[in-house]
Amino acid sequence: MLKNFTLATLLLLTTSYVNAQTKIAYIHMQQLISSMPETKRALDTLQLYEQELNKDGQVLVTEFQKRVALFTKEEPTLKPDIKDIRIKELETAKASIDDYKMRMDQKLALREQQLTDPIIARAKKAVADLAAEKGFVCVLDSSKDILVAATCEDLMAPVKLKLGIK
């Protein structure tokens, strides 16, 4: 009997201790990251890079348009074999433009990742550090449409304070 009572008491204390340890918080990571000053700088840098790449691509498009206009003008007088050669040249030029666009998109995605990875890492570290300081075992990202319970604490304000964001 005493053994059962001791076991029940121990079980009750353990359960209370475990429940006391499960503090959960939430934060809207997208909002946090977009409010960081380095995010604006990264987006501005990315936009300039995209404009630079577009400028190079526009040269290819302009030249292609000139060649199409010339072909359209000369087409009625071209011999069939010359016409076929010109059409193949235009197809090659069009493929070159498509290839450039694909490479541009890849370069842009890579540059975006290079610029945003350190920002995301800094935000995650600040959230993790604050969670450890406040004793949270789990922090949910509310920007991912996760249901937030009433017992959760919003970490947005303390994390912004930790990062020096107003």
- DSSP code of residue 150: T
Please report the pLDDT score of residue 146 as a whole number.
Answer: 56
Domain range enclosing 145: 2-163
Range in 6-20, 38-52, 119-133 the model is least confident about: 6-20
Alpha helix stretches (DSSP H) within the chain: 2-21, 29-35, 37-74, 80-134, 156-163
Is the confidence at residue 16, as pLDDT, over 50?
Answer: no
Is the confidence at residue 133, as pLDDT, over 70?
Answer: yes
pTM of the model: 0.69
pLDDT above 90 as % of the chain: 60
Phi, psi of 24 (to 5 degrees): -125, 140
In the chain, the DSSP E strands lie at 23-27, 136-141, 153-154
Count the domains in the chain.
1
pLDDT tens digits, residue range 63-114? 999 999 999 999 999 999 999 999 999 999 999 999 999 999 999 999 999 9
For residue 25, list its beta bridge partners: 139, 153
Q: What is the CATH number of the domain that holds 91?
A: 3.30.910.20
pLDDT tens digits, residue range 45-66? 999 999 999 998 999 999 999 9
Tokens of 38: 């380095």
